[in-house]
Structure formats: C-alpha cells, structure tokens
Structure 1
Amino acid sequence: MLTLVKIDARGISCPQPVLMTKNALMNNPKEVEVTVDNATAKNNVERYMKQSGYSVSSTNKEDDFILYGEK
C-alpha cells in the first residue's frame, strides 16, 4: 500500500483535478495531498475524496489550496 500520493493540479480546470485524484485513489493510498489553485476544483476534489472514504482537511498557501486526505 502506498503511503503518500501528491498531485499538483494547479492551472488545470475541472473536471481534470477530480479525474487525477480518482486515478491516484485507485491505488488505495493511505494519504493523498492535492494542490489546486481555484475554489471550484478545491470543492470538487474535497467532495470526491470524502465520498471515497478519506477524512479531508485543507490549507491555503498564497493562491493555492492544499487538500490532505487520510484513510
């Protein structure tokens, strides 16, 4: 089982960040970190991760949103 998967989806519009997250979660990682740069992508990725069984927290760093998912 993978421990941490990092996804950089900055500059990419939906639905691509969600699809990138979906592909990463197929390997059932224990932790996921997704970086996006717009609120729509943040909300969609966060919702998808929660539906996939991850507890999700997020932080802002400058213009980016960093979402942390953990199983």
Structure 2
Amino acid sequence: MATTVDARGLSCPQPVLMTLDEIKSGADKEIIVLVDTDTSRENVTRAAESQGCSVKDVRPDDGGYRLTIVKG
C-alpha cells in the first residue's frame, strides 16, 4: 500500500522536505506525492531521484500534480 504526502498549498522547500522525510523513514515502497505547482513537481522529482528513487508517474490532479515515487 502506498503512503500519501499531501504538500498542496505549500511552497518549496516544504514539499521536498516532506517527501525526503517519507523516503527516509517510511516502510512503504511506493509514495504518492500531491503538489500544486510546477516548481514543486520539478523539485520533488529531482530530490526523489537523488535518493535513488524512481518517479514512475506524473499526472495532473485537481489543479496540481500527483507523483508516484517508487523506492529502490
């Protein structure tokens, strides 16, 4: 089951920090991240990839984006 990080309404670096915290502490292999700006989408993607994760899917979601990150 995936964990969801809802970072909508937050400006960077908050979405990145929340995502990194979940990557480092969460047991789930899949993380869903919700953001509402292009900048947050790009920064979260870069941060996840820097931790060895893959961003498997990015899709529009309710005026923002839904990113599916897979650890490992």
* TM-score with structure 2 setting the length: 0.86
1:1-71 to structure 2, matched below 5 A, reads 3-28=1-26, 29-56=28-55, 57-71=57-71
Distance 2:50 2:60 in 1: 22
Moved more, 25-34 or 36-45: 25-34
* TM-score with structure 1 setting the length: 0.87
Alpha-carbon RMSD across the aligned residues, in angstroms, is: 1.3
Q: Show structure 1 runs of 5+ residues with no match.
A: none
Write out the 4+ residue segments of structure 1 that deviate beyond 3 Å after TM superposition.
Answer: none
Letter in 2 for 1:65: Y
In the comparison of the two structures, how many residue pairs are matched?
69
What is the percent sequence identity of the aligned residues? 39
Distance 2:23 2:62 in 1: 26
